[in-house]
């Protein structure tokens, strides 16, 4: 997850100005400046490690800008330029991962589970997309929040289908942390289609999220490509089929074809409903 800053730091080390001949003359001035810059950085890191204080959150971004500006005088001094860049990325990384509870990378992207401080909410990110939020307050874990709250569009969908089909079968393309099952009821059958086994492992782990373990509806997870799994099911069994597989910049095109929608229709009951979450940067 650190490839990008590491490559930039190495590029600074390798930089040579073609207009200059010979090596850089050594000077204690830039070194002293870097030392002065490093003192508050180390202090902020120490405060953050001991207290998780908001001092870090307020100060980190300002010092990131300071270190960025400090790179300018060192533009022709590769070693000092790399040191300044390292300080900048160190601060930025700590600021962005101050409350990261878990981070994983798979073929399908980077997943982060973030807990705020003091612990009140837990967030599940895939890349830059926030997929689920769960309250950590007693008695509130199964209350849907985020874009899947009860007063939002999905809440209206479930209210309508609950009135028509109690109980009903639900299929969901894309598991995330399993937050949609907050809308489940006893007697229902839910099937999540998920391509990444790591997502299922994180969603099942009660140290991170308890949507699945606290669900009142029965549920299962089908691992594999959703289109292939739906084709294998070969039954028109769903009252509600939800497609929630868009990331911030990745649309699985094979799930958006005419043939795919024909398959979705074939897996819905006669008066079943297909819901598509289309939020995406593009």
DSSP secondary structure code for residue 183 in this structure: G
Bridge partners of 110, per DSSP, are 105
Q: Tell me the mean pLDDT per 10 residues along the chain, length 282.
A: 72 66 52 63 59 51 64 70 72 59 86 83 87 92 91 92 82 94 93 95 95 95 94 88 82 89 94 87 72
The tokens describing 253, both together, are 């095109």
How far apart, in whole angstroms, are the C-alpha atoms of residue 173 and residue 261? 13
Residues 190, 220 contacting (CB under 8 angstroms): yes
pLDDT value of residue 264: 95
- 144-276 has CATH 3.40.50.300 classification: no
Query: The pTM is what?
Result: 0.72
pLDDT value of residue 208: 94
pLDDT value of residue 2: 66
Distance, CA of 31 to chain centre: 38
The tokens describing 228, both together, are 């292939």
Q: Helix or strand or coil: residue 77?
A: coil
DSSP secondary structure code for residue 266 in this structure: H
Q: In what order do the strands lie in the sheet with 100-106?
A: 100-106, 109-115, 121-126, 129-135
Residue 107: half-sphere exposure toward Cβ, Cα within 13 Å: 3
pLDDT value of residue 130: 86
pLDDT value of residue 108: 85
Residues 97, 103 contacting (CB under 8 angstroms): yes
Question: Nearest Cα to 124, choosing from 215, 213, 198, 227?
Answer: 198
The fraction of the chain above a pLDDT of 90, given in percent, is 41
Domain boundaries, the chain: 3-96, 144-276
The tokens describing 226, both together, are 């959703």
How far apart, in whole angstroms, are the C-alpha atoms of residue 88 and residue 248? 26
Question: Nearest Cα to 109, choosing from 8, 196, 224?
Answer: 196
pLDDT value of residue 164: 80
Which residue is it, tokens 């028109």?
236
pLDDT value of residue 97: 46
Q: Helix or strand or coil: residue 135?
A: strand
Pairing relationship of beta strands 109-115 and 100-106 according to DSSP bridges: antiparallel
pLDDT value of residue 65: 66
pLDDT value of residue 49: 54
């Amino acid at each position: 997850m650190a490839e990008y800053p590491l490559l930039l730091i190495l590029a600074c080390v390798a930089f040579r100005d073609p207009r200059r001949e010979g090596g850089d003359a050594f000077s204690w001035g830039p070194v002293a400046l870097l030392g002065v810059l490093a003192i508050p950085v180390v202090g902020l890191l120490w405060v953050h490690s001991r207290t998780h204080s908001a001092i870090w959150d307020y100060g980190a971004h300002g010092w990131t800008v300071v270190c960025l500006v400090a790179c300018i005088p060192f533009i022709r001094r590769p070693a000092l330029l790399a040191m300044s860049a390292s300080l900048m990325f160190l601060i930025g990384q700590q600021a962005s991962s101050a409350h990261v509870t878990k981070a994983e990378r798979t073929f399908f992207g980077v997943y982060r589970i973030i807990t705020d401080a003091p612990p009140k909410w837990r967030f599940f990110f895939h890349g830059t997309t926030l997929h689920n939020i769960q309250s950590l307050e007693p008695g509130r874990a199964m209350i849907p929040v985020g874009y899947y709250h009860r007063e939002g569009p999905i809440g209206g969908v479930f209210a309508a289908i609950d009135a028509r089909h109690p109980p009903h079968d639900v299929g969901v393309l894309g598991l995330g942390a399993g937050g949609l099952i907050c809308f489940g009821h006893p007697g229902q059958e839910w099937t999540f289609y998920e391509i990444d086994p790591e997502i299922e492992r994180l969603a099942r782990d009660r140290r991170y999220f308890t949507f699945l373990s606290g669900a009142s509806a029965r549920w299962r997870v089908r691992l594999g490509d959703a289109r292939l799994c739906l084709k294998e099911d070969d039954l028109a069994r769903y009252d509600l089929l939800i497609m929630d597989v868009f990331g911030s910049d990745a649309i699985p095109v094979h799930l958006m074809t005419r043939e795919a929608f024909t398959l979705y229709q074939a897996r819905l009951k006669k008066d079943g409903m297909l819901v598509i979450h289309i939020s995406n940067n593009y």
